[in-house]
Amino acid sequence: MAAASQYVWFDGKFVPFEKANVHVLTHSLQYGSGIFEGIRAYKTAKGPAIFRLDDHVKRFFNTAKIYGMQLPMKREDLKKAIISPVEKNSLNECYIRPFGFYNDQHIGLSPLGKKVSVVVAAIAFGNYFENKDKGISCRVSSWHRINSEILPPEAKGSGNYLNSILASTEAKREGADEAIMLSVDGYVAEGPGENLFLVRNGKLVTPDESADILLGITRDSIIKIAEAKGLEVEERGVHREELYTSDEAFFAGTAAEITPITRVDSRRIGKGKIGPITKLLLDSYDEAVTGQNDDFSYWLTYV
Ligand SMILES: Cc1ncc(COP(=O)(O)O)c(C=O)c1O
């Protein structure tokens, strides 16, 4: 929970954290019709820097376009709005949550013509997974990943995440740290809020978009970092059994960052500990996000 002195950017104004509230009948609360982004800022030698801000803003606007939500602002204004609570709250390392929603209390599904509000909250945030440093365990979910005949997998719409919540809570109830979902076609897709990478015979393997994954910004960063390190990257269909026989596996996502996976369905992955390629990418990712690699400094927006 954020400190009481913090502020949330709410439709162009700073509102104290505990006063950034809406009515219980708000459309997006009732029907999951909100849209959001998840962004991190990191401490660097030149002050806090937001990682891949332009890409997150682009995806937020794409999500709005997919769901037909008319955002009441331009991209440049949203960028400023995202930077402002980091500055105002004097945060260094934080998670930033822009959220667009129908701020209207009517009963009925159609949000057409209803008021859209945008809020941006920034809160101090550490590891998403408690066991990140020693590696986590996963279960292949009985819930399959949504596909675009049902809900748009490339959109970060709140309602999409009920699918993720089902998978994640099932995994946790069964004693694992996180779920891995298959596509409706039975290929390995991703975690509930993370993309997945495997290491097989020295190559990096990751599901491609035909598995209905969200093409994550961290995933893209890892691919670019890996290629710069001379690693071969295969984006392709991945069979479930390849999970079990991989040398290494890890999740990649803004919240999860790079989280090593050491067990899947009670089977040990590789040596059951963080593997050398995962470690190399984890360290290189940390360098990139904290401004220690000039090749990737174009990903940073200093606050
Ligand atoms: C379903 C899903 N997959 C993957 C990711 C990772 O995406 P990113 O690296 O852009 O945070 C996320 C998080 O946004 C997600 O919600």
Region at 209 (left for phi over 0; alpha for psi -120 to 50; beta for the rest): alpha
Nearest CA to ligand 1 atom 13: 193
Mutate-to-test residue for ligand 1 from 224, 254, 257, 299, highest number of ligand atoms within 8 A of CB? 254
CA–CA distance, 289 with 298 (Å, rounded to integer): 10
Assign 2 a pLDDT band (cuts: 50, 70, 90): low
Question: Tens digits of per-residue pLDDT, 73-108?
Answer: 999 999 999 999 999 999 999 999 999 999 999 999
Measured CA to CA in angstroms, residue 17 lies from 94, 184, 212, 253, 255 at distances of 15, 40, 36, 26, 21
- Give DSSP secondary structure letters for 156-175: -BGGGHHHHHHHHHHHHHTT
Question: Tens digits of per-residue pLDDT, 243-265?
Answer: 999 999 999 999 999 999 999 99
Residues in the chain: 303
Would the pTM of this model clear 0.85, i.e. be above it?
yes
pLDDT value, residue 3: 59
Nearest CA to ligand 1 atom 5: 194
Catalytic amino acids?
A: 156
Strands 203-206 and 257-264: unpaired
221 lines ligand 1 (CB under 6 A): no
**Closest by Cα among 53, 128, 129 to 86:** 53
217 lines ligand 1 (CB under 6 A): yes
pLDDT value, residue 1: 59
Does 7-124 match 136-289 in CATH topology? no
Percent of the chain's residues with pLDDT above 90: 98
The mean pLDDT of the chain is 97
38 lines ligand 1 (CB under 6 A): yes
CB 246 within 8 A of CB 270: yes
Assign 168 a pLDDT band (cuts: 50, 70, 90): very high
pLDDT value, residue 118: 98
193 lines ligand 1 (CB under 6 A): yes
CB 6 within 8 A of CB 123: yes
270 lines ligand 1 (CB under 6 A): no
pLDDT value, residue 49: 98
pLDDT value, residue 229: 97
* Burial class of residue 93, CB neighbours in 10 A (0-12, 13-18, 19+): middle
Residues 6+ apart with CB under 8 A from 76: none
**Closest by Cα among 223, 253, 237 to 129:** 253
Percent of the chain's residues with pLDDT above 70: 98
Mutate-to-test residue for ligand 1 from 180, 218, 251, highest number of ligand atoms within 8 A of CB? 218
Measured CA to CA in angstroms, residue 186 lies from 36, 129, 165, 182, 294 at distances of 28, 26, 19, 5, 40
Assign 117 a pLDDT band (cuts: 50, 70, 90): very high
Ligand 1 centre and the CA of 194: distance in Å? Answer: 5
Q: Is the dihedral of CA 262, 280, 222, 85 positive or negative?
A: positive
CATH number of 7-124: 3.30.470.10
**Closest by Cα among 152, 164, 147, 162 to 59:** 152
Nearest CA to ligand 1 atom 7: 216
Q: Does residue 225 register a pLDDT over 70? A: yes
Question: Average pLDDT in the 171-198 region?
Answer: 98
**The CATH number of domain 136-289, selected from 2.40.110.10, 3.20.10.10, 3.30.365.10, 3.40.190.10:** 3.20.10.10
Secondary structure (3-state) at 281: helix
Question: Tens digits of per-residue pLDDT, 202-214?
Answer: 999 999 999 999 9
259 lines ligand 1 (CB under 6 A): no
CA–CA distance, 300 with 287 (Å, rounded to integer): 12
Ligand 1 centre and the CA of 154: distance in Å? Answer: 9
For residue 5, what are its two tokens?
Answer: 């002195």
275 lines ligand 1 (CB under 6 A): no
All structural domains of the chain with their residue ranges? 7-124, 136-289
